Amino acid sequence: MSLMPPDPDRGHLVRAADAEVVGRAPTTVRLLADSSATGGALSTQRVTLTEGANGATPHHHARSAELFYVLDGTAQLLCGEQVVTAGRGDLVVVPPKTAHAFAAAPGEHADLLIVITPGVERFEYFRHLERIAYGKVPPESLLDVQELYDTYFQQSVPWTDARA
């Protein structure tokens, strides 16, 4: 629960203990601020990955940039055709229309703060991913909501090779 109601003119505070948590190990997502809470400026979540766990598969956003800040651990990130390894305190920004993906580096954990700007309503997207993980809806159901969440899935040989 937020200490302050969603009002982009007054700000938005979410206490760590009050953030909605989606998923469970190996991938846990803390929903922090959706686009509607920030006047469309951004949406943000914290993603925690256990050792070597996959985060998001290759995709791009047509309208938004995505920022990845490594709070702890080591992550592998796809940015375009390049796979980079980022450690604690590193920042990776992916421009709109650029393929990207993320995961914990092999043998490492990763704790990431992810910001999408301009914001897209993303909380329901992560809830949808949770329903897929629990077998409540098929993975193909994401194809029906790509435009809604500005998330377009694609193949990436560099990512597939890096994660093999």
pLDDT computed for residue 9 by the predictor: 67
For 72, how many CA atoms within 13 A lie in the half-sphere containing its CB?
8
Q: Please list the alpha-helical segments (H only) found in the chain.
A: 123-133, 157-163
Residue 35 has pLDDT above 60, yes or no: yes
pLDDT band at 7 (very low <50, low <70, confident <90, very high): low
- Identify any residues that bridge with 152 across adjacent strands, giving them in sequence order: 60
pLDDT in tens, 59-110: 999 999 999 999 999 999 999 999 999 999 999 999 999 999 999 999 999 9
- pLDDT surpassing 90 at residue 135: yes
**With the C-alpha atoms ordered 34, 68, 55, 48, is the resulting torsion angle positive or negative?**
negative
CB-based contact 105:75 (threshold 8 Å): yes
Strand partners, 31: 20, 45
- What would the pLDDT profile of 137-152 be if each residue is shown by its tens digit? 999 999 999 999 999 9
- What amino acid is encoded at 115 in this protein? V
Rounded Cα gap, residues 118 and 125, in angstroms: 16
Kindly tell me the sign of the dihedral angle through the C-alpha atoms of 83, 88, 90, 94. Answer: positive
Instruction: Name the strand (E) or helix (H) holding 113.
Output: strand 110-117
d(CA 95, CA 60): 9
The Cα–Cα gap between 127 and 52 comes to: 22
What is the SS3 assignment for 4? coil
The arithmetic mean of pLDDT across residues 24-43, rounded, is 94
Split at pLDDT 50, 70, 90, the class of 4 is very low
How far apart CA 152 and CA 162 sit, in angstroms, is: 21
What's the whole-model pTM score? 0.91
Residue 45: beta bridge partners?
Answer: 31, 114
Q: What pLDDT does residue 83 have?
A: 98
Contact 27, 37 (CB under 8 A): no
